[in-house]
Amino acid sequence: MTQQPLPEPTPARYQRSITDVISSPAPGRIPFSVEFMPPRNDEAETRLRTAAETFHDLGVAFVSVTYGAGGSSRDRTMRIAQDLARMPLTTLVHLTLVGHTEAELVEILSDYASLGLSNLLALRGDPPGADPLGEWTPVPGGYRYAEELIWLTKRLEATKHFQVGIAAFPEGHHQSESLAADTKYTLAKLRAGAEFSIITQMFFDVDYYLRLRDRLAAADAELGSRPIIPGIMPITSLKSVRRQLQLSGAKLPARLEERLVAAAAGDEEANRDEIRKVGIEESTLMAERLIAEGVPDLHFMTMNFARATQEVLHNLGMAPAWGREHGHDAVR
């Protein structure tokens, strides 16, 4: 008897759009979402899955998966994104232009479509190498701007149904000549077919977000009314926040830096719990103000850990406290 070949894995299906899930009723005060990074090894992958289960139980609106370029990292990104979608979690996949020709981008987009992953964050990406704020140069046969990736996505038969989001920069992109120029570039990406903006660059002063929202609305009332989702990175250590500031070019308000330095009291390691306490408190205050300002969703950058985000959500009245003594074993 001839053995029949095994069927191809069933792709993740019925992915709701990001604008749909953030406009639907949420279990808490406001929808929230989280960002994951492609894990580097099996241990890190297990940690990501545990965090994903926690957020699933807490009612997360959607999860995003940043893009890992390169063969093995790219494959792991695809697999993790598909697994999250099957959990099921509405999944937003990132794609950058870095190191890719147009033909390679078509192949990746087609792979996403075959897996049923229909929510895309279109990004130019940071230049390869040690300096993420350095000069950016496209590869031969590649693209220079994120809006070109949006056009490509909307032009391809396999992906024209994708809902596309873009990055926005509350403090302005470091390569923009001015905030006015940065606003123009953001609107160009929306005009190219993007349905929403998700802020993947962190900020630590809510006023920057509000000014961005006002600039976009003033420049184009229709496009400026599309959802602008603020990105929040809960602060857990001075070392990590300094590294993220270096990578992103974002600024830390003097008042916040003074609080964190005072909590460190000259010894960051010995006083890491106090630093974390201040960081979570400040992240909570930011979230409270953003909720009061009517944001559509809170997007947390998790570094593939659940604890810091759950602590902020608990302070907002949207999650149980962290720790077994608080019943955390009931929420993974």
The catalytic residue positions are 35
Side-chain-facing half-sphere of 27: CA atoms under 13 Å: 13
Choose among 287, 216, 211, 204: nearest CA to 242. 204
Using CB atoms within 10 Å of the CB of residue 158, give its burial: 0 to 12 exposed, 13 to 18 middle, 19+ buried. middle
| H or E, element range at 301 | strand 298-301
Tokens of 143: 């693209």
Which residues are bridge partners to 34 per DSSP?
A: 63, 300
Integer Cα distance of 194 and 216 in angstroms: 14
The Cα–Cα gap between 55 and 63 comes to: 9
Q: What string of DSSP letters covers 73-111?
A: HHHHHHHHHHHHHHTT--EEEEEE-TT--HHHHHHHHHH
Three-state secondary structure call for residue 147: helix
- 254-264 and 238-248 are packed helices; what angle lies between their axes, rounded to 10 degrees? 150
Q: What are the start-end ranges of the H helices in the chain?
A: 18-23, 42-58, 71-86, 102-114, 146-155, 179-191, 206-219, 238-248, 254-264, 272-292, 307-315
Name the 3-class secondary structure at 24. Answer: coil
CB within 8 Å of 188: residues ≥ 6 apart: 147
Q: Backbone dihedral region of 80: left (phi > 0), alpha (psi from -120 to 50 degrees) or beta?
A: alpha
